[in-house]
Amino acid sequence: MSLNLVDTFSEFKNMKNIDRPTMVRVLEDVFRTLIKKKFGSDENFDVIVNTNGDIELWRVREIVADGEVTDEQAQVSISEAYAIDEDYETGEECYEQLFLADFGRRSVMAARQTLISRIMELEKDEVHKRYSERVGDIVIGEVHQILKREILILDDATGNELVLPRNEMIRADFLRKGDMIKGVIKEVEMRNNNPVVVVSRTHPDFLAKLMEQEVPEIEDGLITIKKIVRIPGERAKVAVESYDDRIDPVGACVGMKGSRIHGIVRELKNENIDIVNYTSNINLFIQRALTPAKVTSIDLDEETMRAAVSLDSDQVSLAIGKGGTNIKLASKLTGYEIDVFRNQDVNEIDDVDLDEFIDEIEPWIIDALKGIGCDSAKSVLDLSKEELLRRTDLEEETIDEVRRVLESEFDEDK
């Protein structure tokens, strides 16, 4: 019975990352509770935990003459003291060693269960504390179990279980048991009194930490990431700033022939990453945020936080991006709602805005065409039917009808 209790503690001591003072305090508490149940008080008892994990229990009482014991908890007669050690004399303190067998099997087993329970609670607290301090850090783990709504991962460093929810995965992530996966610690939450470490691959911090690993200037503080916006797995925009005029922050992040950024792009399943120089000049910042499109002019409304951006015809689709991703991210990066307008040259004066056809073409079809940068009749007709089918989700019959309506407009003008 003694070994069972001590071994339980020894296993805990050797396997868990708990400091020794805490372990000693837990074991003392368990044994003092055991003593209180048997003797009613633990005031005159010493619990000693040795460095190797062994436990010693001592009962300490004052030795008095026979017949003069007034407090059995604090005093012992000289006759009883002689039975422990013949060298004792009255007035001294009598040290009597106790053993687990003295407490009875049932009490010892109850104490063992209490110790296990306390160990589990300490372990939970330690996991919560350890990972709470690491929120925002990258972890690498092995896929342990694949569930319907989440992936369970074993931390490669600690062996603790981490949770990767499906909505924190990149769309192109296809994981199998045994795969190694990277993620950033997003939060540590409590579920049913158990700490749950939530990992994310879609959070902006994941991209920030990957860049910090690949770009020494960021880790050294020479380059600062001002803001990151992402559509995970599709596109991201990163605003960076350098405090050293000799360092080009964009060039440093991209690396020679893209050497630094390529590894990050592969990890993010070919996510397109635009890195731009941060500036407090909002006009210039919006212009940079809309890369790769070239902006002609910008009209800001600071009260409504809107920006009217004018571009040449061939730049509109670049500014909007596939599915509107480029303009969405540029708006998030700058904090301004961006409206794109096409510059009209001499040949476009007779062009007609798509909104003029609202009576003949369904609004959702017009929105789909605008989503690929076509906001006028001629901009639609300039694209072939095959190009329109490829870039929109519209059916062939719908494309044919739209082209017929738009072509008839110009035929009437003639």
Owning domain of residue 187? 134-202
**Can you say how many angstroms the Cα of residue 211 is from the centroid of all Cα atoms in its chain?**
16
Q: What is the structure's pLDDT at 239?
A: 96
User: Which of residues 46 and 15 earns the better pLDDT score?
Assistant: 46
Q: Is residue 147 part of a domain?
A: yes
User: Interhelix angle for 105-132 vs 20-39, to 10°?
Assistant: 150
Closest alpha carbon to 291 in 346, 248, 334: 334
Supply the pTM of this predicted model.
0.66
314 and 409 co-located in one domain: no
Q: How many domains, the chain? A: 4
Res. 96: pLDDT tops 60: yes
Q: Is the pLDDT of residue 245 over 90?
A: no
Last residue of a domain, one of 343, 370, 397: 343
What would the pLDDT profile of 312-330 be if each residue is shown by its tens digit? 888 888 888 888 899 999 9
Q: Are residues 122 and 143 in the same domain?
A: no
pLDDT more than 90, % of the chain: 41
Q: Are residues 125 and 144 in the same domain?
A: no
Residue 63 lies in a domain: yes
Domain match, 293 and 192 both: no
Residues 303, 361, single domain; the answer is no
Domain ends where: 322, 343, 364? 343
Say yes or no: 82 and 69 in one domain.
yes
By the 8 A CB rule, do 235 and 202 touch? no
In a domain, 12, yes or no: yes
Contacts of 35 (CB under 8 A, 6+ apart): 42, 45, 47, 57, 98
pLDDT tens digits for range 208-237: 999 999 999 999 999 999 999 999 999 999
Residues 36 and 109 reside in one and the same domain: yes
Domain membership of residue 244 (yes or no) is no
State percent of the chain over pLDDT 70.
92
Looking at residue 98, which CATH number applies to its domain? 3.30.1480
Q: In which element (H, E) is residue 277 found? A: strand 272-277
Predicted confidence band at 346 (pLDDT cuts at 50, 70, 90)? Answer: very low
pLDDT band at 279 (very low <50, low <70, confident <90, very high): very high
Q: In the prediction, which pLDDT does 344 show? A: 62
- CATH number of the domain that 142 lies in? 2.40.50.140
Instruction: Among 38-52, 72-86, 255-269, 335-349, name the one with the lowest average pLDDT.
Output: 335-349
Sign of CA dihedral 180, 184, 190, 193: positive
pLDDT: which is higher, 226 or 344: 226
> Average pLDDT of the chain?
86
Same domain, yes or no: 111 and 6: yes
- Looking at 327, 343, 359, the residue that finishes a domain is 343
| Shared domain check, 169 and 90 | no
Whether 88 has a pLDDT exceeding 90, the answer reads no
